[in-house]
Amino acid sequence: MRGPSLLTALAAGTLLWPAAPRRDPGPHQALPIVHANDNRTPAGRIRGDTLALELEVRRATWRPEADSGPSLEVAAFAEAGRDPEIPGPLIRVPTGTVIAATVANRLADSTITVHGLVTRGTGAGDSLVLPPGASAEVTFAAGAPGTYLYMAVLGKRVFDSDVDDEQETASGAFIVDPAGGSPPDRILMMNIWGQTLDSVTYRNALAINGRSWPYTERVEATVGDSVRWRVINATVRPHPMHLHGFYFRLEALGDGRRDSTLPAGQRPMAVTHTLNPFETMALTWVPDRAGNWLFHCHIGFHVVPDTRMDPPPSGSHDRMAHDPTVHMAGLVLGIVVHPAAGGVEPARGTARRLRLFVQEGKPRARAPRAMAYVLQRGARGPAPDSIEAVSSLLVLTRGQPTDIVVRNRLQEPAAIHWHGIELESFSDGVAGWSGSGRHLAPSIQPGDSFVARLTLPRAGTFIYHTHMNDIEQLTSGLYGGIVVLEPGQRFNPRRDHIFVAGWDSEAEPIHLLVNGDSLPPPLELQADVTHRLRFVNIGPAGQFPFSLYRDSTMVEWRRLARDGADLPPALARTGPAREWLDVGETRDVEFQAAAGEYRLVVGNPAKPLWARAVRVR
Ligand SMILES: [Cu+2]
């Protein structure tokens, strides 16, 4: 189900990194303006069991940011007689419906190929090639229930080709509801437009339901609601989509053409799930704590201010601004959870107190800057400029309230996100956003401190990382692992091993560090006991396989947990020792170690991004 090629994984590194701002040339006067489509209102007219639909692809002016903001000239779908929309008009029908559609190519200069107007569940593909000015009629049964998409590509490109210039703006959601209907849900579609303007300038727009942060919708919910989302990636890039503060349960996964509801008992909980190009997912989650939260792509390059259409100049303070509308951009959705009437906050009890220092030391290795989170271990904090090879591992206890006093010793603002941890909104680490109403978490200014209040309802493997000046602080070392143990357990480094993968530079090719090291000495493991291996991927981008070989043969291990949540028993199986991890994911596995020589590998074993000899004796 995951199995993207390593090429796809590496392509995640060559990401949308605009080199220089460029003035907007201004819209063509005569073009219609794109409406951002919130995917709430189905298109067309139903008569009996038939949906009549008239679609056009037209040139239009799209403003993915403010209504008065920068604009692009794009191809977009419209219903005949209406304004063009991004995402395109929502096709949503009950199973059994027949769709009678006309599609017209109103572009003056481009042939289009339309994909996705076809019966679902049969495996059939389709493509409708329309020269400029041409139109066609298609009539088909909607088919199997699920979450799908349709799209028009310029020229005759195939459905899933990779391209330098991205014009994935002409696509829309196609939802087939089961007989009897679906519970209330929302549909979120990602679209990207991008173009290489010259050798150094790449201009792009990344949108969820037609808008880039902070102009994306604020999704509202109330404590105790059941939230259901269908998420659709209509772009040619993978996006690891991450929910702050809560787990979601994956209900269905699709590739854009086919959709599979996961069997009961095999629906994992996750805080991050990657949608590869044109994939879809259906998920549910229950907001049980009020406040402001985020759902965003965890690829740094898709959420930093540099991804704005007119990016800030280098050296700009935007990346460290307190204002969340300034320090984030792109594929970010804000969520506002309102308290339930009569709801009371549970009492928290006496908290354990830890002190964590945000430190910067002398540059090391390739990284332009060297930073680390360093835990105070004795009566005094670390020397102001001392850093360690890797940020401190935090070992915490389930159910034990824990206050982490974060002191910022950088010369710039800091913010820490406790990734995967179910906590109060104010402590979640998004400066100017976490919290509620006017009580919003500050960025931690140089010399200041902030207390993150954790309650730790779950044992497992988690991450803490910067949520400020993301690319630079992350590649400088501001990320670490969190292990939450059951009460009474002690962390046993002879049986319990964490591997935290990050990058030490954004420069290509990717240079991977695991636990701060690119060329680690062999790992010695005791034979004939069970070892727990905890994997974390928290670089700025990239999905990689973590695997264990004996000679050239992949061994077996047992899967235990994903993103800190124990897997359902049906998924906690022994199988080939390989786990794909995207950015913002963790995996726990159990390895029954027989004596021998092994190799732990990240990436392709023939040309690994990182490898470590493992000696079991
Ligand atoms: Cu992304």
Residue spans per domain, the chain: 6-338, 352-485, 496-616
Q: 242: CA distance to ligand 1 center in Å? A: 10
Q: 216: CA distance to ligand 1 center in Å? A: 15
Q: 241: CA distance to ligand 1 center in Å? A: 7
75-108: pLDDT as tens digits: 999 999 999 999 999 999 999 999 999 999 999 9
Q: 481: CA distance to ligand 1 center in Å? A: 22
d(CA 437, CA 442): 13
- Looking at residue 284, its pLDDT comes to 98
Q: 181: CA distance to ligand 1 center in Å? A: 31
Nearest to 442 by CA among 302, 320, 331: 320
Q: 16: CA distance to ligand 1 center in Å? A: 10
- Looking at residue 529, its pLDDT comes to 96
What is the pTM (predicted TM-score) of this model?
A: 0.93
Is the pLDDT at 346 greater than 80, yes or no?
Answer: no
Q: Confidence band (pLDDT; 50, 70, 90) for 214?
A: very high
Annotation: CATH topology of 6-338: Immunoglobulin-like (2.60.40)
Q: 117: CA distance to ligand 1 center in Å? A: 26
Is the pLDDT at 510 greater than 50, yes or no?
Answer: yes
Is beta strand 239-243 parallel, antiparallel or unpaired with respect to 291-297?
A: antiparallel
Q: 307: CA distance to ligand 1 center in Å? A: 11
Q: What is the mean pLDDT of residues 208-212?
A: 98
CATH number of 352-485: 2.60.40.420
Q: 331: CA distance to ligand 1 center in Å? A: 7
Q: 12: CA distance to ligand 1 center in Å? A: 9
Contact 309, 361 (CB under 8 A): no
Nearest to 13 by CA among 300, 305, 273: 300
Contact 93, 109 (CB under 8 A): no
- Looking at residue 3, its pLDDT comes to 36
Q: 355: CA distance to ligand 1 center in Å? A: 33
- Looking at residue 370, its pLDDT comes to 95
Is the pLDDT at 429 greater than 70, yes or no?
Answer: yes
287-330: pLDDT as tens digits: 999 999 999 999 999 999 999 998 998 888 999 999 999 999 99
444-469: pLDDT as tens digits: 999 999 999 999 999 999 999 999 99
Fill in the DSSP letter of residue 120.
Answer: B
- Looking at residue 507, its pLDDT comes to 84
Q: Which two three-digit tokens encode residue 471?
A: 């690319």
Of 32-41, 122-131, 174-183, 467-476, the one with minimum mean pLDDT is 122-131
Fill in the DSSP letter of residue 570.
Answer: G
> 416 to each of 398, 407, 411, 449, how far by Cα in Å?
20, 11, 16, 11
Two domains, one topology: 352-485 and 496-616: yes
Q: 179: CA distance to ligand 1 center in Å? A: 34
Instruction: Please determine, looking at this structure, whether the domain spanning 496-616 carries the CATH number 2.60.40.420.
Output: yes
Q: 217: CA distance to ligand 1 center in Å? A: 18
Share of the chain above pLDDT 90, in %: 82
Q: 95: CA distance to ligand 1 center in Å? A: 32
545-587: pLDDT as tens digits: 999 999 889 999 999 999 999 999 999 999 999 999 999 999 9
- Looking at residue 19, its pLDDT comes to 36
